Structure 1
Amino acid sequence: MFTFTDENGLQVDLRFDEGPFDIEPKHVLVLVKQENKWLCTIHYKRGVEFPGGKQEPGETLVEAAIREVYEETQVCVTDIKWFAYYIVHDRIPFCKAVFTAKVEGIDPFVGEHETVGMTWLTEEELQNHPNLSFYMRDEGMKKILQEVKNHDRQW
């Protein structure tokens, strides 16, 4: 387990296994890479970040991952793979599942829905982007990206 404190001063426990969970995951985060660029969404308030969100009632985590990526970026994904999970020890703790996925197709981004758009960033652009979301700058994200590089995922 990798434990760190996020920018909000909250303890976060990051694990690279599939449980068992102290808290059942109800949120998803999806890492998609194509042609050496990471898919990011541009959130109204938080800035540039990987797509993700909350699981809806009756939805599996994989279904939530597919839906959230599409809603935020208009990118259709496939080959969704479990990668990690983390627990944020907020006033009401929550757990987020981290998946990797491959691009199946890209639809035109029509208007603003949940985000103001999407962008594809190289590793360097991702590390140096001036408008990254708070969680994209924390030690946990650095660890996730390091583990993704070490993982045999055809990236």
Structure 2
Amino acid sequence: MFTFIDENGLQVDLRFDEGPFEVEPKHVLALVQHEGKWLCTIHSSRGVEFPGGKQEENETLMQAAIREVYEETNVIVEDIKWFAYYVVHDKIPFCKAVFTAKVKEIETFVGDYETDGILWLTEEELWQQPHLSFYMRDAGMKKMLQEVKNHE
């Protein structure tokens, strides 16, 4: 387990196994890399981040990750795999499941209420991005990207 304190001063526990979970995951995050670049969304208030969101009723976490990537980026993914999960110890703790995926098809981005656009960024460009979402700047994100490299 990798534990760190996020920008909000909350303890976060990051694990690279499939449970058991102390808090059941209800949110997802997708790490999608294509041709050496990471797929990112531009959230109107949080900034640049990886696609993700909340699991809907009667939906598996994997289905949620696939749906969220498409809704936020118009990218269709395949070969989606469980990668990690993390628990944020807020007043009401919450857990986010993390998946990796490969690009199957890239459709033309159609802006909607979900995001303000997409970016494909190298890892270097990602860390230099001045408008990264708060969770993208934390030690857990750096650890996850390091682990993705270790699994390639």
Deviation at 1:20, TM superposition (A): 0.6
Distance 1:17 1:109 in 2: 33
- Quote the residue 1:36 is aligned against: 36
Alignment of 1:66-85 (within 5 A): 66-85=66-85
Instruction: Report the counterpart of residue 8 of structure 2 in structure 1.
Output: 8
Instruction: Determine the C-alpha separation between the residues in 2 that align with 1:136 and 1:35.
Output: 21
CA distance in 2, matches of 1:41, 1:110: 12
Where does the alignment leave 5 or more consecutive residues of structure 2 unmatched?
A: none
Alignment of 1:71-150 (within 5 A): 71-150=71-150
Task: Give 1:111 deviation, angstroms.
Answer: 2.5
SS in structure 2 of the partner of residue 19 of structure 1 = coil
Query: Residue 52 of structure 1 contacts residue 69 of structure 1 at CA under 8 Å; is this kept in 2?
Result: yes
Is residue 71–residue 113 contact of structure 1 (8 Å, CA) maintained in 2? Answer: no
User: How many residues of Structure 1 are paired with residues of Structure 2 in the alignment?
Assistant: 152
Offset at residue 67 of structure 1 (A)? 0.4
TM normalised by structure 1 equals 0.96
- Offset at residue 108 of structure 1 (A): 1.1
Moved more, 45-54 or 102-111: 102-111
TM-score after normalising by structure 2: 0.98
Unmatched 5+ stretches in structure 1: none
Q: Is the 8 A contact 1:48 1:131 kept in 2?
A: yes
Moved more, 46-55 or 109-118: 109-118
Indicate the residue corresponding to 1:48 in structure 2: 48
